[in-house]
Structure 1
Amino acid sequence: MDLVKSNIDNLTSLWQFVNRRAGAYVIGDVFDHGVIDYSDWPNKLWFINAPKQSDIDVAKKIITSSSIKITVPYWEINGDDYRPLLERNGFVKVLEQVGMSCDLTKGDFLPSGIKLHKVKEKSGAQLWESLFEKSFNYRIHHKLLLRSYDEIEYLIAYDNASPVGVALVYNSGEDLVGIHSMGIIPKMRRKGYAEKMMRSILSDAIKKGYRYGTLQASAMGKGLYEKLGFEEQFLMANYALS
């Protein structure tokens, strides 16, 4: 399995699925995009093939015509580093992440005391939305959860009766599960909950028969994931038009 490709495919498949359920997915020859006006996420425009100047021109028209902020993720496509082209056209890097993967058969992921609740109803979706916004300072609207929880696991982590954080887990059809948007609410940070939550998520993934886990880590989270056995694969930069 090409884990770099599978990692990226899991991520883009997630965006595609959510946008489709919201009626917002647009397919192109060089890039796809989706804009959901009541949510801060996904709202992405991502390149399927390395862009030329003419492709950038079309992308800029779409972005500038939208009242919603659209982010453009970057990763190398067939060895083509097109960051200089983006930057010459006024795109500014707003976030950098590292694509990582883990062979789950090589780790010892015993479940922790954290309990994972899967969102399946409106009250749970609203709580997930609130906890997510506290964790990340932007909003994934609960309507998106209610339209997609049959295929995406939206998880709320509890320590006894207290919610401590959220995550999103998505399988795109391979022997692989993608872990996304894992965050701990501010008042519960620095208490070891992130590691406990990840161990419970990975333990559950193993029980379901997945061999690989993938994610995109911030600089803050990278050390934790390396401790759990994840290895760096590729750079992912996120750009916005200035």
Structure 2
Amino acid sequence: MAIETLAPVQPTTEFPNADGPHPGDVIVTSNLWKTYVMGDQQVNALRGVNLRIKHGEYVAIMGPSGSGKSTLMNLIGCLDSPSKGSYWLNGHDVSKLNDDELARIRNKEIGFVFQTFNLLARATSLHNVELPLIYNGTPAAERTARARAVLESVNLGSRMMHKPNELSGGQRQRVAIARALVNSPSIILADEPTGNLDSKTSVEIMGLFDTLHAKGNTIVVVTHEPDIAEYAHRVITIRDGSVASDQPSSRITGQKLSH
């Protein structure tokens, strides 16, 4: 179930360009800041980030350690709230929601894929994929059927009763991707999805993201690796908490990006 789409926000004095989400937008940020207080110091991890990502886009957010890309990922993933600015996800302003409301949005609207897989060690692949459906109260028969279907879609139908220690790294990441897909989220948000995989398996997993994108999924990959970023169709580079560049990837332009 998608979030109800709200009417576009009117420009204000504080955010003169904050016209809010347009038809087809899934992620919109306006003057997004995140400030951490460390003793008597204030650290601005994000400094007025403006983004607009449409439904069906395949976007990489790239930057070195300390650039602010992980902070931006946490805000996009509704794992944290901004210090200032606005964030609309699927037409809904989520920047002012409380923790319980953010948890509900995360479950319904965002499919997470993590570098470390984050699978329950003693649970089967099927049960790991069912977890988001258990949390939102989906009846048992329906959640099992949906979990089986998405495991089949990532070519793990024969491994659904296996536990993580019985799977290869690539298979475990496929389970994580199936879990991300099971709620039919607005976006798939992948944080360094190949970070724990060898080169051959990384190519296989990025090929799976290509397949998912071709089926209409909106994919946002957060990475520090240029080669992984260029699997996407658009690369947003973050430096010192701001957007340093936003351009088509080399697979679209045919030219290697400079980072």
Could you tell me the TM-score, scaled by structure 1's length? 0.33
TM-score normalised by structure 2 residue count: 0.32
Q: Per chain length, whose mean CA-contact separation is higher, i.e. which structure has more relative contact order (CA < 8 Å, sep 6+)?
A: 1
